[in-house]
Amino acid sequence: MYKIQRIISAAIISALMVGCAQVRSISGGEKDTAPPQVVSVTPEFFTRDFKDHGFSCEFNEFVQLSDLQQELLVSPPLKKAPKVKVRQRNVEVTWTDTLTPATTYIFQFGKSIRDVNESNVLEDFLYVFSTGSTIDSMHCEGMVVDAFSDKAGASLKIALFDSLSHVFTADKRPAYLTRSDANGHYRFDYLRNGSFTLCALSDENNNNRYDIGESIDWKEMVGSAMPSDSTFHRLEISTPRDTVFRGFNFSTDSSGVVKCRYDRWLDAVRVRSQNADSIVQWVANDSLYFSPWKVCDKPVELYVTCGQNAADTVEASYLAGEAPSFKLRQSTSSKMRTTDAVLVSSKRPIALVNDAMMQCFLDSVLISGRSQTANPVQREIIFDRKAGSKYKVRLLPGWITDDCGNTNDTLEFSFSTYDVKELGSLRFKMPECTRKSTCTFQLFDKSRKLVYYAPEIVAAEWVLDHLPAGEYTAFVCEDANANGRFDPLQINPKMKTERNHYYQGSIQVRANWEVVVDWPSW
């Protein structure tokens, strides 16, 4: 009997031990999603006749600071950035500056304060006090958009300056600062009664004023308003072009061709050699290319100028290979429309072309073709193409000879053309505002390749045919000077930026279908 009891007891103990050894999740309740809450502030909010050199805020939980240098804005700005420390549940702010008398100060912490455990953000926390007997109560608000991308101007520095000249002066500071939110909306509160220059800045270096290369827009004589006033100030930000020549960024390779970025709004770029060799120049996209013509046995120093300014010197050096031949490059896709260009490129400028060494095939049947110049290093191959067919191009050695006497290696490539049933069309219905001033139109495919360009919109409705099925984007540019490109704000004298208007959402082309695109007005 005793033995049986021992066995039963052992079994019970084993069962208990197994149960104790099982891993069970411990429920901690619902996840904390609440931001820190203010418990007390010393001195308290909206203190008048402020005499201290700092303040402290106590929260209901441990807090931390994130991106404080970017997020903290003080209006009016202090000469030296305040010191901010975190002590468990407290944030302490101190400064050494002497505050301006009879002035309302606003400390905006943006998204810098968050709790320690879950990093929940206390957004748009403000601390306001006055060194005078009253708290200023005027406001100013509005919206900022990016004129080029047509997107909301999110997280931009918005400033109120006492004068426009202060925007461009190194030792002047704005009177008030804030930031635009994710929707481009901004608002100033606790302003003094007065008139300001309202300015939006990208302010990449965080110095609270404009520097070359940053985006900007401004509006003069903007008055602060009562809280009940619904005046809304719209700013359209863009990056002004740097009209001062600042040099080229050259790149070279063994082909002896020099490449550099080319800013089309600058004066004409001219290239010459010290030995008066002929120079071939061409532009592709945003790059300028140039090469000495038929100088293949020595390095050549080139002298580059932009307008009246001496830009730089660069050496072009052609390194001949063991075999006087080179590879061609073709830029066709595997499937094309019958109207798409068939382009083939050489590295160096082309001197001779022998189209007898070019073979074009429809399936396996030889057909006639020819080529024509696209630019000094590129040829367009032309032959009759039918929808829904397969083609092959074979370029034999000797088809082209470059200026150094080299000829091409054999290049062979194939492609097919879309069947008519595989293509769709878009019917655009445009608002009247697109015809009141010069507006250009551009359509891009999913890979950002330009599919269609119209220098002017003259009709309320038109159709684009023979488009491959897929996703497209399009935009209209208010091309005020009719130069065919987007022109940003000009600073001196001020000329308003042009605006791009993107169609909101993608445009879907369906095979063998006409899709109507009803463009909204603005």
Tell me, what's the pLDDT at 24? 43
For residue 93, name the pLDDT band (cuts at 50, 70, 90): very high
Mean pLDDT value across residues 282-286 = 84
Closest to 383 (Cα-Cα) out of 367, 372, 397, 369: 369
Condensed to tens digits (0 to 9), the pLDDT of residues 169-220 reads 888 999 999 999 999 999 999 999 999 999 999 999 999 989 989 999 999 9
- Rounded Cα–Cα distance for residues 474 and 451 (Å): 10
Mean pLDDT value across residues 405-425 = 96
pLDDT mean across residues, the chain:
90
Fold classification of 38-130 (topology level): Immunoglobulin-like (2.60.40)
Tell me, rounded to whole angstroms, the distance of Cα 272 from its chain centroid.
35
- Rounded Cα–Cα distance for residues 14 and 391 (Å): 80
- Rounded Cα–Cα distance for residues 482 and 488 (Å): 14
CATH class of 325-418: mainly beta
Tell me, what's the pLDDT at 23? 41
Residue ranges of E strands in 287-357: 287-292, 300-306, 309-316, 325-326, 329-330, 335-336, 342-345, 350-353
The domain spans of the chain are 38-130, 138-237, 251-316, 325-418, 421-518
Condensed to tens digits (0 to 9), the pLDDT of residues 330-348 reads 989 999 999 999 999 999 9
Weakest-pLDDT range from 106-110, 156-160, 241-245: 241-245
Residue with tokens 């209901």: 60
pTM to 2 decimal places: 0.80
Q: Which CATH code fits 421-518?
A: 2.60.40
Question: Which CATH homologous superfamily contains domain 138-237?
Answer: Carboxypeptidase-like, regulatory domain (2.60.40.1120)
Residue 286 has pLDDT above 90, yes or no: no
For residues 260 and 246, the answer to whether their CB atoms sit within 8 Å is: no
Burial of 453 (0-12, 13-18, 19+ CB in 10 A): exposed
Closest to 113 (Cα-Cα) out of 43, 41, 47: 41
Tell me, what's the pLDDT at 309? 64
Task: Please compute, for residue 78, the number of CA atoms within 13 A of its CA located in the half-sphere on the CB side.
Answer: 19
